[in-house]
């Protein structure tokens, strides 16, 4: 009986343990992505981490944008009209030039707009600087929320962004300047930037992003030459993504939710890794991933995840 009680106690403790609830691009399902209104909403909903992406302007200002180039599905020009095609790369624009574009509304009739019918427009919203987000959080009085900051670059499109080394150094410098080194992590699909962070800023945790899907595969399993994304760490040398992350010196693996199962989560935990799942927006899927024992979930709908956590008696 004592053994049974002990097992039950462990299960209850596990279920009630704090989950890293990450608001993806703020709270993209509710307000325009990667904008101050979306991050403010995520704070109101009680996320533990604000997830965001970084681009760098021509005059070296770090701004919060998922796309290296202006996305016509969310961007209107100075004339108030949505861009008809992919806009200029942010790297080619000065910060002042970037401020001429409005990212406060989804373009009607697009696949993107259909995917997020509950997103409320906030006309006049601009792409913010990373420093503005840090200041907003400080002013809010929230001294615990963390920042998951993604270096958004690709080895397949090197001319669109700053190179990996100066990109990583710029993000590290901005985090330190903002006084957020103890509250930030740096993540990327391009593991080259993570290797640089681990070497030059060991106080800032790194998070290894992965996807093994037809629309994105940065792992290259089965490719003898490996993947250009993984900084020379080849799948064929290690046999699994968790072992690749461990070999790269990582402590956190953030995987596309469709690539995760119980065995992979168990393997990662056995290697001492934390496991995050992205991007999870359906309550049933949230429940399945919680049952797998992931350590965190990245979601466009932190409100729905909060509800599922409350239903389960989780913090």
Q: How confident is the model at residue 3 (pLDDT cuts 50, 70, 90)?
A: very low
The per-residue pLDDT for range 88-118, each reduced to its tens digit, is 999 999 999 999 999 999 999 999 999 999 9
DSSP state of 84: S
Residue 145 to residue 47: CA distance in whole angstroms: 7
Strands 49-56 and 296-299: unpaired
Residue 21 to residue 46: CA distance in whole angstroms: 8
What spatial distance separates the first Cα and last Cα of the chain, rounded to whole Å? 28
Q: Kindly list the structural domains of the chain, giving each domain's residue range(s) and its CATH number in brackets, ordered by start.
A: 19-68+126-311 (3.20.20.190)
Q: What are phi and psi of 142, to 5 degrees?
A: -80, 110
> Considering the chain, what is the average pLDDT of its residues?
95
Structure tokens at 314: 């989780």
Cβ 260 vs Cβ 294: under 8 Å: yes
For the cut 90, the answer to whether the pLDDT of residue 14 exceeds it is no
**Residues of the chain above pLDDT 70, percent:** 95
pTM for the whole structure: 0.94
More confident residue, 3 or 243: 243
Q: What are phi and psi of 56, to 5 degrees?
A: -130, 125
Q: How confident is the model at residue 298 (pLDDT cuts 50, 70, 90)?
A: very high
CB burial readout 102-139, b (16+ within 10 A) else e: bbbbbbeeeebeeebeebeebeebbbbbbeebbeebee
For the cut 60, the answer to whether the pLDDT of residue 2 exceeds it is no
Q: How confident is the model at residue 315 (pLDDT cuts 50, 70, 90)?
A: confident
- Residue 51, SS3 per DSSP: strand
Structure tokens at 226: 């490996």
More confident residue, 8 or 295: 295
Residue 228 to residue 308: CA distance in whole angstroms: 38
Residue 311 to residue 292: CA distance in whole angstroms: 17
Cβ 300 vs Cβ 279: under 8 Å: yes
Residue 129 to residue 178: CA distance in whole angstroms: 12
DSSP state of 32: -
**Max intra-chain CA distance, the chain:** 73
Q: What are phi and psi of 61, to 5 degrees?
A: -95, 130
Residue 298 to residue 302: CA distance in whole angstroms: 8
The per-residue pLDDT for range 154-208, each reduced to its tens digit, is 999 999 999 999 999 999 999 999 999 999 999 999 999 999 999 999 999 999 9
| pLDDT computed for residue 7 by the predictor | 37
For the cut 70, the answer to whether the pLDDT of residue 1 exceeds it is no
For the cut 90, the answer to whether the pLDDT of residue 11 exceeds it is no
| pLDDT computed for residue 173 by the predictor | 98
């Amino acid at each position: 009986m004592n053994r049974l009680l002990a097992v039950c106690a462990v299960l209850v403790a596990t279920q009630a343990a704090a989950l890293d609830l990450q608001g993806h691009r703020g709270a993209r399902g509710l307000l325009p992505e990667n904008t101050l209104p979306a991050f403010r909403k995520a704070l109101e909903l009680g996320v533990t981490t604000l997830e965001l992406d970084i681009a760098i302007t021509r005059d070296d200002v770090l701004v919060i944008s998922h796309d290296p180039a202006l996305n016509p599905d969310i961007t209107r020009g100075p004339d108030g009209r949505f861009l008809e095609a992919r806009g200029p790369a942010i790297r080619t624009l000065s910060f002042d030039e970037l401020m001429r574009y409005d990212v406060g509304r989804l373009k009607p009739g697009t696949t993107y707009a259909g995917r997020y019918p509950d997103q409320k427009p906030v006309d006049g919203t601009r792409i913010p600087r990373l420093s503005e987000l840090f200041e907003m959080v400080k002013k809010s009085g929230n001294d615990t929320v963390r920042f998951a900051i993604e270096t958004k670059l690709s080895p397949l499109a090197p001319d669109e962004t700053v190179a990996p080394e100066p990109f990583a150094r710029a993000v590290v410098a901005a985090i330190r300047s903002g006084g957020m080194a103890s509250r930030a992590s740096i993540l990327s699909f391009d593991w080259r930037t993570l290797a640089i962070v681990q070497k030059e800023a060991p106080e800032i945790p790194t998070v290894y992003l992965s996807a093994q899907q037809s629309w994105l595969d940065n792992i290259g399993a089965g490719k003898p030459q490996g993947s250009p994304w993984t900084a020379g760490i080849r799948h064929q040398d290690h046999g699994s993504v968790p072992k690749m992350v461990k070999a790269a010196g990582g402590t956190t693996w953030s995987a596309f939710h469709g690539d995760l199962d119980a065995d992979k989560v168990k393997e990662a935990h056995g290697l001492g890794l934390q496991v995050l799942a992205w991007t999870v927006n359906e309550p049933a899927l949230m429940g399945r991933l919680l049952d797998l024992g992931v350590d965190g979930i990245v979601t466009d709908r932190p409100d729905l995840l909060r509800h599922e956590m409350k239903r389960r008696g989780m913090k």
